[in-house]
Structure 1
């Protein structure tokens, strides 16, 4: 019994392994481990007043993300892939800018782990994209991906997944076109549509059925705003989209895109 206890004490006293971040930026794979990033010359201590993942003020050791994106141009398109399959599509331009909003890669110190996101769940580490002054550039919650394992350069969503595109005959002013842009920003990180997308987190939103086909309109709006108010279970992961994140006009456009795509199944 004493030997078992001694073994457990030894196991829990050993330092945790450094995590690894893979960067695939078009010229091969670059790997950084958390120890290297924590000691990076441009790493600094950062206070985030309104953290999206933790919903409170947080303190991090972080590196400006732009310094890790060597060779990336503002017109490029990036994707952050999380450990759980969340895949955030990210235009490069906001990630490269020096301000007013600025992107930072927060690094979890294995010797001082961050708190769990919720009881019994892991933390937001090992790597988390956070922003200073996010309101200044209209940064949305989906642009704060956490538990990042890889950042890679890809072609745009339109080029990679033509099955997501609305009908080319739609006029440029059609709400479904704005809805497609909002779908990329708010939904594609977790969901596929017509089998298209990289996320492995949530269900396909058109196959076999589109939510506009089986939700009454008022309940679908309620579900998007506050999923737990309609279907409550402890393991639910879908966040609600408040009006500060998705205005009523934007929600109308997103629903217009979903209704349109219900008629464009493969």
Structure 2
């Protein structure tokens, strides 16, 4: 028995009508949800060409067609919290305040034009597209490499990390300005996009940083500091994804606070 041709012809026509390489980004906020298509964003009234002097992913100068991210976050305030999820499971936790800034470090959603694709990130890899969170003047806001998520699929509003994952919390008797609590804030900014701790977190890339052991328990001397500063200097392999956290991104004092949090949490393991 033959198949009817009309449905097949219609299906083929629909497929051919789709723009090659088109993609979509979903933004889920508490009060609204919108899915943006590539073409919509490229034609957005606020879209412009931005110059990135030193791109975190490409390690060189880049230019992108981009929209100020704040323009895509209606109703979001500085007190809110967002998560940017990539196609590979990378989940960047983002305080809303820096994303809303119009001066200094400014967040942009770079949009890959299918007609002019971006370079590949490496042999056998994809580009940073279809959507990539980039920053102009990032040094003005001490923007971490983890705040440059690429291959984005979703941006969503969530409760804070502390509210969602109590297993990450330091001893509640510590003062708010205790170095351990300051280290917890740094952990959220620099580590939680790739790593879980005590099994808590949304990331699916790196290992848990407390279960079964904290790196502070098996890295002796200053080797953990050296590893964070330059992972490839201690463990070299082609598939490594952890970036180097230089002093411009993570000053020495902040690195000490981060390590202080990890050491503290080594004594607060949860099954």
TM-score (norm 2): 0.90
Once residues 32 and 50 of structure 2 are traced to their aligned partners in structure 1, the CA distance between those partners, rounded to angstroms, is 30
Equivalence map 1:168-247=2 (5 Å): 168-247=172-251
Q: Alignment partner for residue 165 of structure 1, among 164, 169, 172?
A: 169
What are the Cα deviations for residues 7-37 of structure 1, in whole angstroms up to 9, with x where unaligned?
Answer: xxxxxxx952311101101134310011111
Whether the aligned pair in 2 keeps the contact of 1:15 and 1:111 (CA below 8 Å) is no
The corresponding residue for 2:4 is none
Look up the match of 2:6. none
What's the counterpart of residue 258 of structure 2?
254
Residues 176-212 of structure 1 show CA distances to partners (whole Å, capped at 9, x for unaligned) of 1111111001000100000111111111101111111
Query: In the alignment, which of 101, 106, 116 is matched to residue 110 of structure 2?
Result: 106
Greater than 4 Å deviation, 4+ residue runs:
none
In structure 2, C-alpha distance between the alignment counterparts of 1:170 and 1:94, rounded to whole Å: 27
Cα deviation 1:41-68 (Å, max 9, x = unaligned): 1111111111111111101101111111
Q: CA deviation at 1:229?
A: 1.1
* Equivalence map 1:111-122=2 (5 Å): 111-122=115-126
Match of 2:70 in 1: 66
Structure 2 unaligned runs (5+)? 1-17
> Is 1:156 the equivalent of 2:160?
yes
RMSD after superposition: 1.4
Instruction: Using the TM superposition, name which of 173-182 and 230-239 deviates more.
Output: 173-182
Deviates more, 1:14-23 or 1:43-52: 14-23
Cα distance per residue 1:202-234 (max 9 Å; x no partner): 111011111111111311111111111111111
Q: Which residue of 2 aligns with 1:30?
A: 34
Q: Is the 8 A contact 1:61 1:107 kept in 2?
A: yes
Deviation of the 1:173 alpha carbon: 4.3
1:164: Cα distance to partner?
Answer: 0.4
Question: Shift of the alpha carbon at 1:101?
Answer: 2.1
Are 1:126 and 1:148, in contact at CA under 8 Å, matched by a contact in 2? yes
TM-score, normalised relative to structure 1:
0.91
Shift of the 264–51 alpha-carbon distance from structure 1 to 2, 3 Å rule, reads same
Report the 3-state secondary structure (helix = DSSP H, G, I; strand = E; otherwise coil) of the residue aligned with 1:183: helix
CA offsets per residue over residues 62-111 of structure 1, 9 Å max, x none? 11111111121111101100111111111111111211222110000112
Q: Please report how far the alpha carbon of residue 121 of structure 1 lies from its aligned counterpart in structure 2 after TM superposition.
A: 1.2
Q: Which residue of 2 aligns with 1:11?
A: none
For 1:175 and 1:96, the matched residues in 2 are separated by 27
Aligned equivalents of 1:227, 1:86: Cα separation in 2? 18
Q: State the partner residue of 1:42.
A: 46
Q: CA deviation at 1:140?
A: 2.2
